[in-house]
Chain A
Amino acid sequence: MSIIDWFAKKQKAPSKAERLNIPGDLWIKCPSCSEVLFTKDLEVNYKVCNHCNFHFRLSPEERLLYLFDKNSFVESDSNLKPIDFLKFKDTQQYSSRIKNAQQKSKKHEAVTIGQASINNKMVNLAIMDFFFLGGSMGSVVGEKITKIIEAAVENQHPLIIFTMSGGARMQEGLLSLMQMAKTSSALALLSEKKVPYITVLCDPTTGGTSASFAMLGDIQIAEPGALISFAGPRVIEQTIRQKLPDGFQKSEFLLEHGMVDMVTSRPDLKEILFDLVTLLDPREEVKK
């Protein structure tokens, strides 16, 4: 890489400071191509940069809005709340981290579950939220994912999970690790019932989340440019003591290595999801 390329790349590097200081947040600078975008245009375009196809991270509400039938979502188990049962304290008490995240997101935890429809086709749904403590999986996330899998076992509607998580929630110690086994075990039951399960891997999906339910879809779709990995790039660089190649562990890399079925841009996602759940669902065959 020439010094000019390096400098250009450095200037493009995403940072919170990139947000322009114009009142009302009417503009936003694309963290990938630095183009200045109208917030309104961006929202109409599924929060995808129309210059470089950079996919901004979405909240569960935004995904529901973009991808599912209007007002079709019925949430379940929103009452489950995390507790600081280890009294875990690092630079901050876990309980106060929870409180802050809850206040900021107006939600109890890092995943939202329930039923919704796509073009009138009913599906079971889980949407993870990276903005809530990095989307990390503790007892509540594990429980809610397991509950929605069990609901799918029961009601036989296809299951779609949007993953967006840095991995296990360390502040819940070994019990957070066990959520990997719990969720994956439930998926064994779902698989036996022949209910279709589709994962949409969003940026980022790593660690304990990728090494459990995220990688067990019948079909796996990745959003463009998402980091999807077991180990984080920084940990790998420290271990092997060399720089990682460009695009390593990004969606396109996973497609090339056979780990996902497709990389799909957000504007096309709804139709693809609808087609796939309809084509896979054995109950659609009966209806004909």
Chain B
Amino acid sequence: MTKILEFEKPIVELYEKIEQLKALSKSGNIELEKEIQRIEKRAKKLKMDIYSNLSPHQIVQIARHPNRPDSSSLFRLICEKFIPLHGDRQFRDDPSIVGGIGTIKGQRVILIGHQKGHDTKENIYRNFGMPHPEGYRKALRLMEMAQKFSIPIVTFIDTPGAYPGLGAEERGQAEAIARNLREMSSMTVPIISFVIGEGGSGGALAIGVSNKLYMLEYSVYSVISPEGCASILFRDAKKADEASKSLKITSVDVMGLGIADGVIPEPMGGSHNDWKNLSKDMKKQIVSDLKNYKLIKPEAIRQERYKKFREMGEFQV
């Protein structure tokens, strides 16, 4: 069953009422029919009103929706062929990061993504999509293989952040992320990234140093979680709502900052009920980009990426 978010409740309640009335009206009561039509109209308007005026805080909830499409499922929906690959060859296979090799419209690709679960059991196994250093090292291993065999890289970002824990610190979480940033910058194969849900800080960026970055319409990308920001800067964890506004984290905001190259539209209210159509649009974007990059020399692909990040920053001279 799909989880209903707090702000969706009035809509759901109206639709439930419509269903009840419909059951009653089987006898052909004309007055009742009219009433149903009236409520249906109201429900439609309410839906429009709510979904077209979502606050950043509400968008965060959609981005974290338990039924939101996950990396592994999207890989399978987008690729004709997909072979999952595992392990960092040093410590273990981190279930918070998935990857593999496949084809998209016949074109070879290496795909890498953060992996969340859809229920508690799966989420515990996936560590809620929060990788350990070995997850980032697995990602780097796959990217280096992509570079070796001249295969374009596609990454899906969906993490609350890199895992803050004992083992993660002992094994060099900071070093693992830093290394990925440096190594991704020098790849000569194209890298295309999508924020598919939550883009949480350095743990997101560690697979996001890309030529092209796309935000799904209801995804977010932030330097710190709104909750973290609220407790540190606002000194009140309950101010996450306010922090999510100030941080400028929605797809539209991230476009505005010049960090995202495009927004992939989603059905009104989010993709959690329609993974297939979303995957089609993502596929279209990947196919079109890969076609363009075929015409660009490897060194120019690297330079393009370098230049993009080199120009990021707002200051006064």
> A residues touching B (Cβ–Cβ < 8 Å)?
79-83, 85-86, 88-91, 139-140, 142-143, 146, 168, 170-182, 184-189, 191-192, 207-208, 210-216, 228-232, 235-236, 239-240, 244, 248-249, 257-259
Contacts and interface: CB of A to CB of B under 8 A. Distances in A.
B307 to A, nearest CB: 10
A81 B315 contact: yes
Given A185-B209, A185-B310, A235-B164, A170 B182 contact: no
Given A188-B185, A240-B166, A175 B312 contact: yes
Contacts of A188: 182-183, 185-186
Given A170-B233, A180-B202, A257-B172, A185 B182 contact: yes
Most buried by A among B168, B169, B243, B317: B169
Contact of A231 (B173, B181, B310): B173
B23 interface: no
A-side binding surface: helix, strand, loop or mixed?
helix
Contacts, number: 192
Nearest to B172: A259
Contacts of A214: 174, 178
B31 interface: no
B238 to A, nearest CB: 13
Nearest to A207: B202
Interface in B83-120: none
Interface residues of B, number: 55
B165 interface: yes
Contacts of A230: 162, 164, 168-169, 173-174, 177, 202
Interface stretch (B47-55, B67-75, B246-254, B288-296): B246-254
B202 A211 contact: yes
B229 interface: yes
Nearest to B173: A230
B18 interface: no
Nearest to B224: A170
B259 A259 contact: no
Contacts of B206: 211
B223 A184 contact: no
Given A178-B309, A215-B175, A184 B182 contact: yes
B233 A91 contact: yes
B174 A175 contact: no
A171 B234 CA distance: 11
A84 to B, nearest CB: 9
A168 B223 contact: yes
B164 A239 contact: yes
B192 interface: no
